Structure 1
Amino acid sequence: MNKKTLRVGMFGFGRTGRAVATVLFNTPHVELEWVARRSVGGRHRSVAEVLGVDSDTPAPFHATDAQDADTLLDQHPVDAIVDFSGEDGVLYYGEAAARRGITIISAISDYSPERLELLRELAERTVVMHSPNITVGINFLLMAAKVLRRILPDIDVEVFEEHFRSKPEVSGTAKVIAGELGIEEERIRTVRAGGIIGVHEVLFGFPYQTVRLKHESIAREAFGNGILFALDNLRDKTAGFYTMEDLMRPYFQMDGDACKGQETTHPAEAG
């Protein structure tokens, strides 16, 4: 069954935003309509030019300094907005998107309480999803770790993270993992070396065994895969505030037949 094409607009075009745009640009059932930046300069006027490809849908850049969000969304309508800009990006497009029922997917890693409250207010009128790390793998790791923590709450748990040499602060993702598992932030073990994109590991220490859950980012395009997962699983959702855990939870439901290896209906195919 062919999926309906989703028209997507994106805010932010740094290293991660560019990788995400590459994934979206090359996905058949997604049409990246445009990328919004504060200003548009330089020799590239579209994502297609940046990628060095010819396309009938080049995904042009639009300058937020030159027009308000209502004008942008009226002249270049989309079904969903993907935000990799910064915590104040939602101040530009949030109200305009909510009024039009446009899905908002925010991957901003460090929102202030005020910005999170704004997202929840917008979610009263449209579909809003926020994830500080939108890769499928890291969210699977977090959910699996929480399940094991509930099964055996008294076992030893340690959180490790590794990143590129110049990253000064403790990984925001590691802080989220530690917080969800009830571990003090000061106990997070960090490594800074070379050009490591990102490694997160949770170690569970039993008396006679250990369990290690580890996620390694090989390329920033992994964030694009997470965006695709979110776009596909937010289809037909009602207005509300969602997380990656909300979208992944149905995939953790295993009935007796699934455990026996018999054929079952995949959650993404249901309905």
Structure 2
Amino acid sequence: MVKIILSGCNGRMGKVISKLANTIEDVSIVAGIDRNTEKSNYPIFASISDCNISADVILDFSRPDALDSLIEYGKENNIGIVFCTTGYSDEQIKKINDLSKILPIFRSANMSIGINVVNNILKNISSLLYKNFDIEIVEKHHNQKVDSPSGTAILLADTIKDTIPDNIEFVNGREGIKKRVHNEIGIHSIRGGSIVGEHEILFAGQGETIEIKHTAISREVFAIGALKACEFMYKKNAGLYNMDNVISNDN
């Protein structure tokens, strides 16, 4: 049984994870962290520094400003962390990477198994298509999402960029009077309603297009991936892990 401290337990994703965890035998949420300490079937603390319950891993679905307190708690209690929060600055990402030298750390911009399969497809095809195709990414999310482009869109764009030898530039949306340059990857963000998450990668060539699209119909897809990550991280050694490790472990 993997015992989990859930940071952001009363947020949208936190509630979905809590509900799903009740149906899985191998995981148990033993404590929650949230500014909203509304009652649950496990104790909830307003700050992780107040948590006095032992666990095997911290699962974080909160906000970037919680990072420092999570790092401090992880160090003090020698406990690994699964970071699912997006919108981190470059400095914060460096802190996470540095932490992985002393603790088992998992970080992924998207916990969906499907989106990570798509990401692996991009690793294999982007360099083959780049010469003859322009590449654009369109991502759609609900109207409460605070960061744009989404962490997933950046993940996909970085994957494409890493496979191409040219100096690739990201363009966040387009405006004005200017021709598209071939070494650009356009990233377009749409916010509205209750869209859970859609990501489409468009390869546009002369007379043909190739579209790869992932649609999250329910937040459960992220919850399933997050809990799988927690199981995967059980008793892992220090290091930096991601969804590729989880997918490989399942196969």
| SS at structure 2 position matched to 1:175 | helix
Q: Alpha carbons of 1:212 and 1:229: their partners in 2 closer, same or farther (altered >3 Å)? A: farther
Instruction: Indicate the percent of aligned positions where both proteins have the same amino acid.
Output: 27
SS in 2 for 1:158: strand
Q: Cα–Cα, structure 1 residues 209 and 236, in superposed 2: closer, same or farther, change >3 Å? A: farther
Q: Which one has more relative contact order, counting CA pairs under 8 Å at least 6 apart?
A: 2
Alignment of 1:92-107 (within 5 A): 92-107=69-84
Match of 2:11 among 8, 11, 14: 14
Cα deviation for residue 163 of structure 1 reads: 2.6
Alignment deviations for residues 27-47 of structure 1 (CA, whole Å, 9 cap, x no partner): 11101101112352xxx411x
- Secondary structure of the equivalent of 2:136? strand
The equivalent of 1:159 in structure 2 is 137
Retained in 1: the 8 A contact 2:32–2:45?
yes
Tell me, in whole angstroms, the C-alpha distance in 2 between the residues paired with 1:147 and 1:237. Answer: 29
- Residues 108-257 of structure 1 mapped to structure 2, 5 A cutoff: 108-156=85-133, 157-164=135-142, 169-182=148-161, 184-186=170-172, 187-205=186-204, 210-248=209-247, 250=248
- Structure 1 residue aligned with 2:61, among 84, 91, 111? 84
Could you tell me how far apart the structure 1 residues matched to 2:86 and 2:32 are? 19
- Identify unmatched segments of 5+ residues in structure 2: 162-168, 173-185
- SS of equivalent residue, structure 2 residue 87: coil
The Cα shift of 1:207 comes to 5.5
Contact 2:56 2:234 (8 Å CA) reproduced:
no
How many aligned residue pairs are there?
228
Structure with the largest fraction of strand: 2
Mind listing any 5+ residue stretches in structure 1 that lack a counterpart? 47-57, 251-266
Q: Quick one: structure 1 residues 164 and 36, their matched pair in 2 at CA, closer, same or farther if it must change by over 3 Å? A: closer
Offset at residue 153 of structure 1 (A): 3.6
Aligned-pair CA distance for 1:199: 0.8
Are 1:145 and 1:202, in contact at CA under 8 Å, matched by a contact in 2?
no
Q: Is this contact kept in 1: 2:107–2:242, CA < 8 A?
A: yes
Conserved 8 A contact 2:122-2:159: no
